[in-house]
């Protein structure tokens, strides 16, 4: 597995470094630490450019020291160019399977990965992406795997099942039913045939149960502790996922990414992106390499 860790000089990046260092990884995992210097915006300010270069080198050096202390092998690289594209381009060039970046609050003064950069990585990286946020401790984790029963969701389940996790890690599989909440509370619109609505409701519920059962089997076969739930939406799917994760105390939300294919359902970009950027815990979006 190839992991690209993007860092800057902020505390948020320190959190990402600590999270990567605390997890078990498959033998042979290759880790590359990168930081970006926006040389285009500082071409006429040599002093500023040199300061940013030193800051990037310091950020990479700090990360390297932490990974070395954990016994992990790594390489380092300071990139030049617009950070929004530099990390994405490097992920493509290096054949990365996973990009890990820290999540910044609006109060951070060092903002290399804030907002537009994190969004660009989530949206355009050709591989899986994890937005890392702090979690208590460094031991067992609670993973919330959101599924809609699609092949992309099954790929996410297989990804979770294929990796080592801290001892005692639990996985909860969640499927959000894809009909209006009013249809499940008896408030069927008058212009719709009640029998047809009931048939659709039944099929949709069964689809969600099947999605959960499929993911549960994949996770259980990997030897992880797992349980599944079907959620009747009281809000948009993205908010249901964020709320369920918060109430359960999840450390990591995992979602599949459908990319741009037609016919995809609730885990399409309109859900995975806002969940990744606004959840209270870490979020990993699983996608196969383009």
- Report the DSSP beta bridge partners of residue 252: 143, 282
HEC assignment per residue over the chain: CEEEEECCCCHHHHHHHHHHHHCCCCCCCEEEEEEEECCCCCCCCHHHHHHHHHHHHHHHHHHHHHHHHCCCCEEEEEEECCHHHHHHHHHHHHCCCEEEEECCCCCCCCCCCCCHHHHHHHHHCCCEEEEECCCCCCCCCEEEEECCCCHHHHHHHHHHHHCCCCCCCEEEEEEECCCCHHHHCCCCCCCCCHHHHHHHHHHHHHHHHHHHHHHHHHHHHCCCEEEEEEECCCCCHHHHHHHHHHHHCCCEEEEECCCCCCCCCCCCHHHHHHHHHHCCCEEEEECCCC
Largest CA distance in the chain: 72
Numbered ranges of CATH 3.40.50.620 in the chain: 2-132, 142-286
142-286 domain in CATH 3.40.50.620?
yes
- Model confidence over 83-119: pLDDT tens digits? 889 999 999 999 999 999 998 754 444 444 445 677 8
Quickly tell me which residue has 């209270």 as its tokens. Answer: 280
Q: Which CATH superfamily is domain 2-132 in?
A: HUPs (3.40.50.620)
Dist CA 56 CA 204 (whole Å)? 50
Dist CA 263 CA 275 (whole Å)? 20
Residue 202: the pLDDT is: 86
- Model confidence over 256-283: pLDDT tens digits? 986 544 333 444 456 888 899 889 999 9
Residue 180: the pLDDT is: 57
Dist CA 174 CA 189 (whole Å)? 27
| This prediction's pTM | 0.87
Series of mean pLDDT values for 10-residue runs along the chain (290 residues): 94 94 95 88 63 92 96 95 91 96 61 60 92 91 95 94 96 85 54 72 89 97 96 85 97 82 45 89 85
Residue 206 Ramachandran class (φ > 0 left, ψ -120 to 50 alpha, else beta)? alpha
Half-sphere exposure of residue 156, counting CA atoms within 13 Å on the CB side?
35
Residue 190: the pLDDT is: 54
- Report the DSSP beta bridge partners of residue 283: 131, 253
Residue 163: the pLDDT is: 96
Residue 14: the pLDDT is: 95
């Amino acid at each position: 597995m190839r992991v690209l860790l993007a860092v800057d000089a902020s505390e948020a990046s320190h959190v990402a470094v600590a999270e990567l260092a605390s997890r078990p990884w498959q033998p042979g995992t290759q880790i590359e630490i990168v930081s970006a210097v926006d040389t285009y915006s500082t071409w006429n300010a040599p002093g500023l450019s040199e300061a940013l270069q030193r800051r990037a080198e310091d950020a990479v050096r700090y990360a390297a020291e932490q990974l070395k202390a954990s016994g992990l092998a790594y390489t380092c690289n300071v990139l030049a160019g617009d950070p929004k594209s530099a990390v994405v381009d490097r992920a493509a060039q290096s054949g990365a399977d996973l990009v890990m970046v820290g999540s910044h609050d609006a109060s951070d003064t060092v903002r290399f990965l804030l907002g537009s950069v994190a969004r660009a990585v989530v949206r355009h990286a050709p591989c899986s992406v994890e937005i890392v946020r702090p979690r208590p401790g460094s031991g067992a984790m609670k993973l919330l795997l959101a599924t809609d029963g699609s092949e992309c969701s099954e790929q996410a389940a297989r990804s979770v099942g294929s990796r080592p996790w801290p001892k005692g890690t639990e996985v909860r599989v969640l499927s959000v039913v894809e009909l209006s909440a009013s249809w499940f509370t008896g408030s069927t619109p008058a212009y719709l045939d009640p029998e047809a609505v009931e048939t659709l409701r039944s099929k949709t519920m069964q689809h969600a149960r099947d999605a959960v059962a499929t993911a549960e089997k994949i996770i259980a076969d990997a030897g992880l502790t797992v349980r599944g739930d079907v959620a009747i939406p009281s809000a948009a799917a993205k908010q249901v996922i964020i709320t369920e994760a918060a109430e359960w105390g999840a450390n990591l939300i995992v979602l599949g990414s459908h990319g741009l294919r037609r016919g995809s359902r609730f885990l399409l970009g309109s859900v995975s992106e806002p969940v990744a950027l606004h959840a209270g815990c870490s979020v990993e979006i699983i996608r196969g390499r383009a």
